[in-house]
Amino acid sequence: MNVDELNLGIVGSGGDGVMVCGETIVSASALEGMKCLMLKSFGPQIRGGESSCKIRISRKKVAAPPDKLDILVAFNWNDYKRFGSELELQPEGVIIEEGEEGQEEPERALVGPQPKMIYRVPLTKLAKDSAGTRLARNMVSLGVMSQLFALPDKELKKSIAKMFSRKGEETTQNNLKAYQAGKDYAAQHFTRPEKLRLHRMKNGGKRLVMTGNDAIAYG
């Protein structure tokens, strides 16, 4: 079933690349011509603490972040505890988490409805195998989301290339490999079609991406 709006949440800690992951989705959505809004949240630590973001992607105008999520990406469930009340799932929501089928499942202290589906993905292993570093597991998760929920593939690749261009060609290509590894894993292991698939724009035109402060200054 194609939907006109997807509401995503991502949670993790320093080094998980939560914000990079979210900003890449926002950038790709803008290239596609979709409307998008991202809300960032941080723990009290100066560096390395828990962080989360909520992203609303829509074919229609959006004026506020989502109250509840269709998709939650949890890099670490201990970090979820800090933001649980902000990351409540819809009744039909799904989770993407670190792990493999057959492994002991983590304790999920979920706030609100239980997920309809949990996709367990060896994010760290895929990141190390494809990019040579666990730091790329945020890109692996992007690939999984792209495959399962029909996020804009071409635009995500462009956004990844732009995001890492200042770090050199090797880093850029490694992150693109990690993204593709996530797509391939989802295609091979999750053969049941996901109910929530983003209804994409046709000739929507590019959108401008700016922060709230940018928008105030521009106004």
The dihedral region occupied by 40, where left means phi > 0, alpha psi between -120 and 50, and beta the remainder, is: beta
Neighbours of 203 (CB within 10 A): 5
**Predicted local distance difference test score (pLDDT) of residue 127:** 97
**Predicted local distance difference test score (pLDDT) of residue 201:** 60
**Predicted local distance difference test score (pLDDT) of residue 195:** 80
Q: Catalogue the long-range contacts made by 126-133 (C-beta closer than 8 Å, 24 or more residues apart).
A: 126/178, 126/181, 126/182, 126/185, 127/178, 127/181, 129/181, 130/174, 130/177, 130/178, 130/180, 130/181, 131/174, 131/175, 131/177, 131/178, 131/181, 132/174, 133/174
Spatial CA neighbour of 101 closest among 117, 78, 77, 82? 117
**Predicted local distance difference test score (pLDDT) of residue 49:** 80
Q: Which residues of the chain have pLDDT under 70?
A: 1, 44-48, 200-210
pTM attached to this predicted model:
0.90
**Predicted local distance difference test score (pLDDT) of residue 124:** 95
**Predicted local distance difference test score (pLDDT) of residue 44:** 67
